[in-house]
Structure 1
Amino acid sequence: MENRTASRWSCWRHSGYLVGASSTFLSTVLTFPIYKTIFRQQLHTSTIRVAVIQLKREGMKHLFRGLAPPLMAKTLQGTLLFGTQGSLQKFLLGVNIPGAMIPALSGCLSGAIEAALLVPFERMQNILQDGRNTARFPSTASVLQEFQTYKNDQKFLCGIYRGFSIILVRNALGSAIFLSCKEPIRDLLSLQGLPSWAPSLGSGSFIGAFTSLVLYPLSVLVANMQAEVGKGLPGVREVVKTVWEKCGGGRVSLLYRGASLIIVRSCVTWGVTNSIHDTLIRQHSLK
């Protein structure tokens, strides 16, 4: 019995599940103030200075308000990204699919699973991060209580899964790009004399930043869709129209408010996560 338990723990520990969970947990805590500043820019199309002034005015006690949902979501995301993708990749190896397509396809499916599980966390996080909701929703529990007052299951699901279609596209594409490109770029960066963890750090940082920038407009739509709570919430088309008007009729510079900070956050988050993951996997393979 003890050997079986040890075997299961070893499989969990080295398969990428625990590595992804622990690394994303730490990086989420470290980069949360950056993420919150980005969210305010997305929501109000404001400059970094204005967003920082907003957060400073609210005080340090509210700086980490809304941390719990993304902390749980990102930890679960890291677990799924490396664990589920590995399992799906093994499954797809037995299917008649070109080998070059397997990382992208398994990443796409992994991202879809992420979206289905993580939308409620992102929904609560965006409600809590909007300063206009501070009085009405002082905690995560108060947001859940609001959704529990909905009279039928359909309305509850529509409320908690608001923005699901956009998040599904964003996560599926993002995971496919990241997981199909990280190893080739890592190999390109593997120069003689560099520490073994450096190419993985550079690969994760570059692809994380690139993917975030490419898919940033979708994140802006999600932020604007999910921040509000109440009756008669606008649909996707109405939100797109509102964001378009906020951006002065589609000015790209306004649409990408917050993109500069997202580069910093993505470099730290995905660089550290990818480096830790590859290092532990490499150590296990040498045993």
Structure 2
Amino acid sequence: MSHSNSSVFTNPSTFILQGIPGLDAAHVWISIPFSVIYAIAILGNFTILFIVKMESSLHEPMYYFLCMLAVTDLVLTTSAVPKMLIIFWFKFREIDFNDCLIQMFFIHCFTLIESGIIAAMALDRYVAICHPLRYSTILTHCLMAKIGLAVVLRSGVLILPYPFLVRQWPYCRTNVVSEPYCVHIAVVKLACADTHVNSYYGLAVLFCAVGLDVIFIAISYMQIIRAIFRLSTKDVRLKTFLTCGSHICSIVIFYIPSLFSSLMYRFGQNFPMHVHVLIGSLYLLVPPMLNPIIYGVRTKQIRDRLLHLFTHK
């Protein structure tokens, strides 16, 4: 805590996480919805993993991708929310410098992994609708393992420079991070150096990874819509399109908060800081909570198995 005001230092031993600036008095109240959302996310994603593991009829590519998404959501939300709750409840704001870098890596890495998995699920929907007779021969277990490995390696390689870039800068005046968790852009703002390379690299990662994922998803759905309009009747077209409903919901709840957060950090200087933080927290909280609910409600096999667990005597 001794460095938190006006000392000059190169690498601080700790950072001070401010929580939600301007809303310190309401931290305990804010922690209530945060903790409820976190509990729902943990319970929901573990339930998805359990049901898919126990139900042999769900051992298909779509559900394997759903399991990847559930694991990603568990890691993403757990990398940030417990520390946030400690700040809200106990006002323990310190985080070790190296722990901050580790948290930063996990948050950004698994955000990219989630983007990659959502893009892979678009491939699954494309093959299922456009090439239904070849579905099992195209999306083999080997191909799925390669896709999963490629998504993880891509994210790890792209995000690995983040902590090294942050570590090389000198820090002065303050070590107070105006967030309840360590994210790249918030920590870099504290550096006493020209950090344009960090900004350029962050934008490059955003456009080259997330941007390409969005383009791939858009192309996949263009092909899906073309295939749907070739179907014979309106009812068949609607029924086929509804099989994409859960995936479309995942796209919306993941990319929209992430896009707003990125744009506000770079161009929304006129917004209050607590608005920045709350919107930035949405993509760490909302997708992990809603994804298992969406797939549980909209996927008949998962819904039936879940009802069976509660009604079976």
User: Which one has a larger percent strand, Structure 1 or Structure 2?
Assistant: 2
The verdict on a shared fold, with TM-score over 0.5 as the criterion, is no
With the length of structure 1 as denominator, give the TM-score of the two structures. Answer: 0.29
